[in-house]
Structure formats: C-alpha cells, structure tokens
Structure 1
Amino acid sequence: MKLQLEQAELADAARWIARHIPHKAAEPTTLAVLLTAHEDGLTVAYSDTEITASVTVDAHVVTPGRHSIGGRMFSDILSALPPVAIDLTGDDNGVDLTAGTNDFHLEPLDARSYPSLPSMPPLSGSVPGDLFATAVASVASAYNDTVEAVPSLGGIRIMPIEGDRLQFLATDRYRVPIRTIPWMSSGEAVPALLPGRALADIAKTAGGAHEVQLSLTSGLAGIQTGERTSVSRLMDITSFPAADRLFPKEFVATLTCDTEELVEAVKRIRLLLEGAQAIELCATPDQLTVQAMRNVKATGKARIACQLEGADTFDIAFDPQFLLDALQPVEGPVAIDMNTPIKPVVVCPTDGEGDYRCLLMPIRDPEKAAG
C-alpha cells in the first residue's frame, strides 16, 4: 500500500471511526481499524459484532493494499499532526506515516482475520441531516445501557409512523422522550431498536450533512451520510417497553412558563442539592417557585412568572437532571401537563405541533404523602 492524502480529511475520518471503538477489549481486532487503499481513495473502517462503520476519503493511491492497525492511536496521531500532506505506506511489517518532518511506524495486526464488513442494507428512506441529529439528541439522555436485566433499555427505537413520519424514542423507565420528524420513505421499513451509545455518537456528526439515508430492515440498520456508512445489528425490540402507551390522555392542571427561565432557575437551585435530592416546583396561577425539597443544610428559592390552569396551587418534585434533560429540546415556552404529584407528567412545547414530548416521573415527597 502506498498513497498520499491531506491530513485534515484523514484526521476527521479517523476521529469519526474512533467514536465506534471501545476503550478496552479482549481481542486486539476489536480495537483495530482496517485501511483499504483502492482506486477511489482510502477507506477507513471498523467492525465488531454489533456495529460496522466506514468512511472513504480522497487520496492519490500509487499502490493499493489492505492493512489493519490500532484505531485509537492512529486517530490520536493524525489529530496531532500539522495540516500538511501525509504519505502512507504499508507492508507486512506495518504501516509507516510521514507528515513533513514527522515519521511514525504502526505495528500491523492480521488484516486477514479482520471481521467482514457488511454492506449497506436496502434503503428505507431519507431525512435531513439536521433533523436526524436533533431527533437523536432529544431522546439520547434517556437510554440506559447499564441495566443488565433489561439490555433493551440501552437502545433507541426508531419507528416509521403515518407513512411520512419517523419516531425516535428511548426510556430508562423513569422518563420517555419522543421526537417525531418528517422523512421521505422509499422502501420497506420496520421498527428498529439500535444501540443508544453508537447511535448518539453517529448523530453528533450527522447534523452537518444535507441528507441521512436510513435502512431499517429486519436484521440490520444502516445509516449513511455522504461517504460515511454505519451498519448496526438490531437489538431485541420484543423486550423493549411499550413506553409510548404510558402517556396520559387527560390532565387536571397545566403549568406554562418560559423554558429558558425555568432551566436557569433549576440550575441555580441545584447548587444546593447533595446526592439524590430533588427539585420542587411550587406553582400558583401567576408564579412558579423553584426550591430544594427537604434540604436541611441550605435553602433557597428562585421565582419566575408562569401560568397555572386547572388548579389554584400545584406542588411537584423532580430529579433536577431529568427535568433539565426533558426541557433541553423545547424551543419557546414549555407546558407541563399534570394530574397528581405522584403521577407522570408530560413536558412539551406550547405550540401544539407535537414533534417533541417527554413523559417524566415525579419524585414522591414522603412527608406530604404521610400528611
């Protein structure tokens, strides 16, 4: 293998691939990338049992070839190099990288034993890149891949609805954010549960793409943005909670206020909290007081304007980070629809478009419950 290419393009490609690589693994190939030089340029690829990612960059290829090397080190070296042309050469002894006055040699791994790279499944449809990135970011805070008993909670569900809409949903059983975006359907699409961590990393770089092409098939999911392709095995969707059915259809009270003012108030009062202490919202028809619930070491209140309909007063408490995560995707004023202080609430924009909503479990106040 012998080729020349630009540092910026290769460093960007290697960084994106490195997002998919675990920090530790028993098998060396699980930490390696595959470099393939061909007539169209250089393809940098990663593959394990769950996900495959590849990106092709322009290169002047003198001699084609295929070599496997440590992926994270390769990415770190490229990111530290100056913006100059890079010469890559590879043989049985490894890969040599030269950039100006900098020379590196990377030991080889057996490219012949590298896992095969599945091709992109048949296309299901496409969405604008910015909407895809926003949808994933809106729900990604709620996946939880640390619950061994329910591994499906570590996934994000993507499901076509109503023909021209695509729904993104995640849950950790305490909150259920849902984001719905328009999409252009062009083939078969099935509800798919994708690994949340991998999908969130992929979406971080998709916002700048004009279009994201999606494949949602019965065995694999594919995501393609330009020359970047990710193919993921689907998680078992049959054990994923039917969380969208938990949303209440009726409410007794609705609190509306400015989202940014509420976010800032919660952040200020959160400074008083320790451990798992909660934020309490105490609403009257025209004022919302944010305070720390049952905090004996420090007290404080932040007041903002609000509207409360359906009740004269309403007190309810939340995990502060969960509340902030639920508010983050909301643009403009926010509505919090409520029934009782111990039943789920729904956080959503007040514009009524319904593109985003989040079911959020409140925290029960033992003293009020006892009273």
Structure 2
Amino acid sequence: MKLQVEQAALADGARWIARHIPPSAADPAALAVLLTADGDTLTVAYNSADVAASVAIDTHVIAAGRAAVSGKVFADILGALPPLQVELAGDDNGVDMVADTNTFRLGLLDTDSYPVLPPMPALSGTTPGDLFATAVANVAPAVDYQTAAMPELGGIRIRPDGDRLQLMATDRYRVAVQTIPWQPSGDAVAALLPGRALVDIAKTAGGADSVDLALTAGTAGVHVDGRTSISRLLPVDKFPNADGAFPKEFTGTVTCDVDELADTVRRIGLLLEGEQAIELAIAADRMTIQAMRNTKATGKARIDCRLDGIDTFEIAFNPRYLLDGLASIDGEVAINLTTYARPALIHAAVNNPTYRYLVVPVRDPAKAAS
C-alpha cells in the first residue's frame, strides 16, 4: 500500500473514526482501524460488536493494499502533523507516515482476521443534512449517558411518520422532541440509536445536502458525505413512554423574549450552589427571576412577559435544564404551564412548532406541604 493524501482531510476522517473506539480493550484488534487503499480512495474503517463506521477519502493511490493499525494512535499522529501532503506506505512490517521532515512508523495488527465490515442496510429514506444536524443537536441535551441501569436513556429515538421524521430523547426529567421533513424510499421502523454515535455523525451533516437513513429492526445506518455509521440498536420497546408525558391541556402560557430570559437566568444562576433552583414568579406583564432558597446571597431580576390564561404563577427549575430548552429557540419563547409541580412545555411562540421541550420543575417543599 502506498498513497498520498492531504493531511487535513485524512486527519478529520481519522479523528471521527477514533471517536467510535473504546478507551481500552483486552484484544488489541478491538482498538484497530482498517486502512484500505483502492482506486482513488482510502477508506478508514472501524468495526465492533456495537458499531461500525467508515469514511472514504479522496487520495492519490500509488499502490493498492490494506493495513490494520491502532486507530487512536493513527488519528493522534495525523492531528499533530503540519497541514501538508502526507504519504502513507505500508509493507509486511508496518505503515510509514511521512509529512515533510516528520516520519512515523506504526506497527501492524492482524489484517487478515479483522472483522468484515457490515454493509449499509437497505435505504429507508433521506432528510436534509442541515435539518438533521440541527435536530440531533437540539434533542441531545436530554440524552442520559450515565445511567447504566437504563441504557436506553442513552439513545435517541428516530420514528418515521409519513413525510415527517421525529427525533426524541429523554432522561426522565425532560423530553426533547424535534420533527423534520424526510423523503421515505423504503421500509422503516422506529429505531433507538446510541446517542453518542448519532451526535458524532450528525456533526458532519450540517454542510451536506442530504443524509441517508436506514432504519431496520436490527441495525440502523446513517450515511453522509462519504461517512457511514452502522449501529446496533438499543431496545426501542424499553424506551420510556415519553409521548404520554405531554399534557393535553394547560392552565396558562407565558411568552417572552428568549434571549432576555436566558441571559437573566444565567446571571441569577451565579448565586446558585449545588442543586439549588431558579424560581420564576410570573404576573400579567412581568416575570421576576430569583435564586430559590439561597441563604448565602440574594438577587432577583425582572423582565417583560405576557401571561395568558391565569393572573399569576410560580414555578422553579434546574437552571441547566431550563437553559438547555431555551438554547434551541429564536425570538419569542412560549412556556405552557399546568401546576408548579407538573412538567412545563417550552417551544417557540409560533403555531405548530417543530421543536418541543418538556421539563419537570423543582418542587418547593414549602409549597408541597401547604
């Protein structure tokens, strides 16, 4: 194997592949990437029991061939090289990486026994790249990567519905939902994809015209701009019934400028420690925001708002959860309210919003006792 390739393109692809590789493994092959030079393309691929990923990069191939090397070391070296042309040359003993006066040699892992990459499943449909990237980014804050007892909370559910595609995530304290258009072209089922892998591939989708999705009963595939990620699915039947958490009716709705609310929450949040909450005291035309039950420091701020349906309302939130919901909205935000102890629904103040964020409030013990 021998080829020449631009450092920036190969480093970016190798770095993306490396994010799929676990920090450690008993078998070194589980940490390896497979390099395949053929025609005018170098394919960098990784395969494990949970996920397979590959990226195709345009190169000048002098001699075709294959080699398996440590994926993270390969990516780290490429990232540290100057932005010049890189030459890769492999033989039976290793792979040389040369860029100007920089020369590295990587030892080979067992190429012949490297697991065969699974093919991309049959295509289910296509969605615009920028909308897909935005949707994944919007629901990602509600993914719970830490709960080992419920791994399905670490997933993002993708559910087709005619010419619409719904993405949803929940950590049981909030639910984030985004709906985007798509063009179905084959069979598709609701699929629960590992959130971390989906976030990684979605980051590359923003500049792409479209994203190809394969949603099958066993695996799901995402293809965008020469990058393919095939994931073992999480059990979608164990995903919480988050659809049923959305209230059918609301007591009132408060509307205000989203940037003004977010900036004020951040300022008042400087007073908070640990799990202390932000309290919103809402009247007909103003909202007072203050730190809840803070004995060391006090502070409050007031912003303009409009409250419809009721005269006054008080509710408290985890400030990070509240800010996560506001971050995906431009202009005016509407917050649908029921009671101080029941979830509030955050969305843009427009008809039929495509993004909705349901968040559980922080209950004040004094109010609960009364």
Mapped to 2, the partners of 1:59 and 1:356 lie a distance apart of: 41
Mapped partners of 1:369, 1:299: distance in 2: 23
Matches within 5 A, 1:126-165: 126-161=126-161, 163-165=162-164
Once residues 331 and 126 of structure 1 are traced to their aligned partners in structure 2, the CA distance between those partners, rounded to angstroms, is: 26
Take 2:165 and 2:257, find their aligned partners in 1: how far apart are those partners? 28
Is 1:85 paired with 2:78? no
Deviation at 1:114, TM superposition (A): 1.9
Structure 1 spans left out of the alignment, 5+ residues = none
**Worse overlay, 266-275 or 104-113:** 104-113
Q: Give the equivalent residue in structure 2 for 1:73.
A: 73
Looking at structure 1, the residues matched to 116 and 284 of structure 2 have their Cα atoms a distance apart, in angstroms, of 62
Matches within 5 A, 1:185-334: 185-334=184-333
Q: CA deviation at 1:25?
A: 2.7
Give the drift of 1:138: 0.8
Q: Does 1:350 align with 2:346?
A: no
Equivalence for 2:41: 41
Question: What's 1:121 paired with?
Answer: 121
C-alpha deviation, 1:30, in angstroms: 2.3
Question: 1:66 corresponds to which letter in structure 2?
Answer: R
The aligned amino acid for 1:88 is: L
1:181-206: CA deviations, max 9, x gaps? 00011111100000011111111111
1:113 CA displacement: 2.4
Residue 353 of structure 2 aligns to which amino acid in structure 1? Answer: G
C-alpha deviation, 1:82, in angstroms: 1.7
- Deviations along 1:227-253, whole A, 9 cap, x unmatched? 111111111111111101110010011
Aligned to 2:25: 25
Aligned equivalents of 1:369 and 1:58: distance in 2?
Answer: 63
Q: Residue in 2 aligned with 1:112? A: 112
Partner secondary structure for residue 113 of structure 1: coil
User: What is the aligned residue count?
Assistant: 370
TM-score, normalised relative to structure 2: 0.98
Q: Please give the alpha-carbon distance, in whole angstroms, between the structure 1 residues aligned to 2:190 and 2:200.
A: 20
**Counterpart AA for 1:100:** D
In the alignment, which residue of structure 1 is the partner of 2:175? 176
Between the aligned partners of 1:30 and 1:318, the Cα distance in structure 2 is 43
Asked if the contact 2:204–2:224 (Cα under 8 Å) also holds between the matched residues in 1, the reply is: no
* Unaligned segments of structure 2, at least 5 residues: none
Q: Give the distance between the partners of 1:196 and 1:252, measured in 2 at CA.
A: 34
Distance 1:11 1:31 in 2: 17
Moved more, 270-279 or 74-83: 74-83
Q: Which residue type is aligned with residue 186 of structure 1? A: S
- Secondary structure class of the residue paired with 2:333: strand
Structure 2 residue matching 1:35: 3-state secondary structure: strand
Q: Which residue of 2 aligns with 1:335?
A: 334
TM-score in terms of structure 1 length: 0.97
